[in-house]
Amino acid sequence: MPLNKLLNYNTIYNQWVSNGSTKEAAIELTLQQLDALEEIVNNDISWHELLKISANGRNQDAWLAMDWPEGFDELLLCVPLCKFIDWECSKCFVGMRQENNSCAFDYSIFGYIGELIKTGSRDELKQHILNTKMFIKNSNYLWNIHKCEIEILKP
């Protein structure tokens, strides 16, 4: 089942350490997590399961990244990037391109994933996952936190 492909916090963190704790490994593993999420969203059964999992505990537990697969937090997707910069978002190549906002912010590029899941906006989430992967792979993109859309960096 696609749910098993999304790695929990400890597993993705340990893979990053095993892969040398580098920026390149963080990017690769973040893209792997996004691929897993994409597979979950594209599968009818796992999509509905993700909706249930996401709804579990969000009102009681603000930090669900450690809870997968019992709970879902969009920061689970970018754990290697967060560990690489030691949670200093303004130093992150993602944070710098979203007005130095943390990915925990609801309208950051990763935070928006959680917002789309909460509202069950499946088609929009599918497109957003593709945009997020493009953003991670190409530093010429910015994330507009006010419009919740990807933009090309102006020269």
Task: Quote the domain boundaries for residue 85.
Answer: 2-152
The first and second tokens of residue 64, run together, are 């669900």
Determine the pLDDT at residue 100: 92
In this prediction, residue 131 carries a pLDDT of 97
**Contact predicate 118/74, CB 8 Å:** no
Q: What integer is the mean pLDDT of 106-120?
A: 95
Could you give the CA distance from residue 7 to residue 68 in angstroms, rounded to a whole number? Answer: 8
At 62, the pLDDT band (50, 70, 90 cuts) reads low
For residues 25 and 109, the answer to whether their CB atoms sit within 8 Å is no
Q: Model pTM?
A: 0.92
Own/partner long-range contacts of 94-103 (Cβ < 8 Å, ≥24 apart): 94/135, 94/136, 94/143, 97/135, 97/139, 97/141, 97/142, 97/143, 97/153, 98/142, 98/143, 98/145, 99/145, 101/145, 103/74, 103/75, 103/78
**Per-residue pLDDT tens over the stretch 21-43:** 999 999 999 999 999 999 999 99
Domain count, the chain: 1
Distance from the first to the final alpha carbon of the chain: 44
